[in-house]
């Protein structure tokens, strides 16, 4: 730990919502505006979806700490990136600076913040500011409830095995399939095999300028889609009393 006479900084995981900047909470906006150091993931081109969403609340005096995360299937690469990023963040926290990590959606729902949190929370104070997660943003766009009364509800990743996705489709009333981009061909195949193709909705870039919503997924090409995409599968027959 740092010198007893010096106060450590706090590591904040701040959810900025699924894409629409107006869906950032008041608490998140206030923290972003006052932050000494802003941290966020970037792609190979240096672009950051979370920073773009929060753009209106940033100020020129803030220090930027971008973290490049390769889109690799090798977990060792991701682990090394998080190790290095956590060390860099700890240096700032030890120097007394608060660090705000911007997270698309909610920090603890399929969020990269969680991997940094486990590497930092034992040494420095941490706080989490929840955000609107993409399933709720998608549900609002569709104007369809995710679950009602006794309906079962689950969230699964497109990275799961074919059999795990198949069982979810067979056993659950409402399913959100996250990380659907690379898995889109197999998801469409499994929806057809389980006779749920007609119950599925597909959404990309929720709340952003390039938002795309397809309620008839039988028209969707069996090809890889973008990272920011998901399926919502809902029963046709739903109790409404």
Residue ranges per structural domain of the chain: 11-132, 135-233
Quick: pLDDT tens for 91-121.
999 999 999 999 999 999 999 999 999 999 9
Model pLDDT, residue 1: 41
Tell the CATH topology of 11-132: Cobalt-precorrin-4 Transmethylase; domain 1 (3.40.1010)
| pTM attached to this predicted model | 0.89
d(CA 50, CA 101): 9
Q: What is the pLDDT of residues 61-86, one digit of tens each?
A: 999 999 998 765 555 667 889 999 99
- The span from the CA of 107 to the CA of 212, in Å, is 24
DSSP for 142-208, please give it: HT--S--TT--EEEEETTS-HHHHHHHHHH-SEEEEES-TTTHHHHHHHHHHTT-GGGEEEEESTTS
Would you state the pLDDT for residue 79?
Answer: 87
In CATH terms, the superfamily for domain 135-233 is Tetrapyrrole methylase, C-terminal domain (3.30.950.10)
């Amino acid at each position: 730990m740092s010198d007893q006479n010096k106060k450590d900084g706090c590591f904040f995981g701040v959810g900025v919502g699924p894409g629409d900047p107006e869906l950032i909470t008041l608490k998140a906006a206030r923290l972003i505006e006052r932050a000494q150091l802003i941290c966020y993931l970037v792609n190979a081109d240096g672009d950051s979806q979370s920073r773009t969403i929060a753009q209106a609340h940033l100020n020129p005096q803030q220090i930027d700490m971008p973290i490049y995360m390769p889109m690799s299937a090798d977990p060792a690469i991701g682990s090394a990136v998080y190790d290095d990023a956590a060390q860099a963040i700890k240096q700032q926290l030890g120097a007394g600076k608060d660090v705000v990590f911007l997270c698309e959606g909610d920090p603890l729902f399929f969020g990269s913040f969680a991997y940094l949190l486990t590497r930092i929370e034992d040494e420095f104070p941490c706080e989490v500011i929840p955000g609107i997660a993409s399933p709720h943003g998608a549900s609002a766009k569709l104007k369809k409830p995710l679950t009602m009364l006794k309906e079962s509800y689950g969230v699964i990743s497109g990275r799961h095995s074919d059999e795990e996705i198949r069982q979810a489709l067979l056993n659950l009333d409402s399913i959100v399939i996250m990380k659907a981009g690379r898995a889109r061909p197999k998801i469409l195949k499994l929806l057809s095999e389980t006779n749920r193709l007609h119950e599925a909705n597909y959404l990309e870039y929720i709340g952003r300028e390039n938002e795309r919503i397809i309620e008839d997924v039988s028209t969707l090409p069996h090809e890889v889609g973008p990272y920011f995409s998901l399926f919502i599968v809902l029963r046709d027959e739903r109790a409404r009393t």
